[in-house]
A and B are shown apart, each in its own frame.
Chain A
Amino acid sequence: MLIVVITALLVSMVLILVRSLLGPTIYDRLLAVNSFGTKVILLIAVYGFFTGRPDFLDLAIVYALINFIGTIAVLKFFEYDDLGSVDYQEDDL
């Protein structure tokens, strides 16, 4: 059963990878890369259950957090073309 899930995850990762490499616009690529990260995390979680060590789930959660930080940084760069500019900090006030 879990082997089927792992196979399905790997196949969907292939599809997402194709989209992130071909994707006509940057938005396709961003979305594809983000969901590829999610698939990696799911794979770790499922693999933990497959080998009888559900504590991999904790690792998967931490990876999800790290992946999220990366996505936030990319989106910030995308919106402002900068990571620490004063301009938008004044905007937020």
Chain B
Amino acid sequence: MTEQLVIMVLLSFLVVIAFGIILLKDLLVAVILSGIYSLTAAAIFVVMDAVDVAFTEAAVGAGVSTIFLLGALTLTRRQQKQQKHNNYFALLVVTLTGALLIYGTLDLPGYGDGQSIANQHPQLAQHFLQKSEDEIGIPNVVTSVLASYRGYDTLGETVVVFTAAIGVLSLLGLRRRKREEDPELDAKRQCRQQNEEV
């Protein structure tokens, strides 16, 4: 009961933060809020007892991608560009995709459902729960399935991500960016020098 309530409150936090990210014009604030979004999502995963999913979400979502987004922000401006027209077509596409995804979740088994299709197989769940520690040597069943039983699949995913990273790098190029003269930054630097002299 408490678990359900905590999950519901945290999920509503996610909705509020998502609207904040969409509506606020300052991109730096949007990046910080996206970090908090990931941390809240990770907390939900912990409450739902998916500890390693939560760990990945916290490390990748709140840690690395915040820094990546900040790095992207150094290449552009901090304020969002003024939108001159309303893009209703994009809204329609996004709403349709969201509706399709929600429709897809209707077929998923309930949370912690013992009668779901995966649990109805006579030996499968039993085998993983009882033997995985002997076979793989990892106490956590989810981790041993992810890293060992379906290890080739995970390797394939990693190759896809690696290829995407190479593609993005070859598009952006590895040249050093020319330093633009920024009056605000110059003022800060002067201020610091004065402080050191004092």
A and B held together in a complex: yes
Which chain A residues have a beta carbon within 8 Å of chain B's beta carbons? 3, 6, 10, 13-14, 17, 20-21, 26, 29-30, 33, 36-37, 40, 43-44, 47, 50-51, 56, 59, 62-63, 66-67, 69-70, 73-74, 77-85, 87, 91
Interface of chain B, helix or strand or loop or mixed? helix
**Chain A CB within 8 A of B132 CB:** no
Interface of chain A, helix or strand or loop or mixed? helix
19 further interface pairs, Cβ-Cβ under 8 Å (given A14-B13, A78-B28)? A13-B13, A17-B13, A20-B36, A26-B28, A37-B35, A40-B42, A62-B58, A63-B42, A66-B58, A66-B59, A66-B63, A69-B63, A73-B67, A74-B28, A77-B74, A81-B182, A83-B70, A83-B74, A84-B71
Which chain B residues have a beta carbon within 8 Å of chain A's beta carbons? 2-3, 6, 9, 13, 16-17, 20, 24, 26, 28-29, 31-33, 35-36, 39-40, 42-43, 46-47, 51, 54-55, 58-59, 62-63, 66-67, 70-71, 73-74, 179, 182, 184-185, 188-189, 192
Of the A-B pairs whose beta carbons lie under 8 Å apart in the complex, a sample of 11, sorted by A's number, is A6-B2, A17-B17, A26-B26, A33-B36, A40-B43, A66-B62, A69-B67, A70-B67, A77-B73, A83-B71, A87-B189
Q: How far is the CB of B124 from chain A (nearest CB, A)?
A: 27
CA distance A4 to B194 in the complex (A): 51
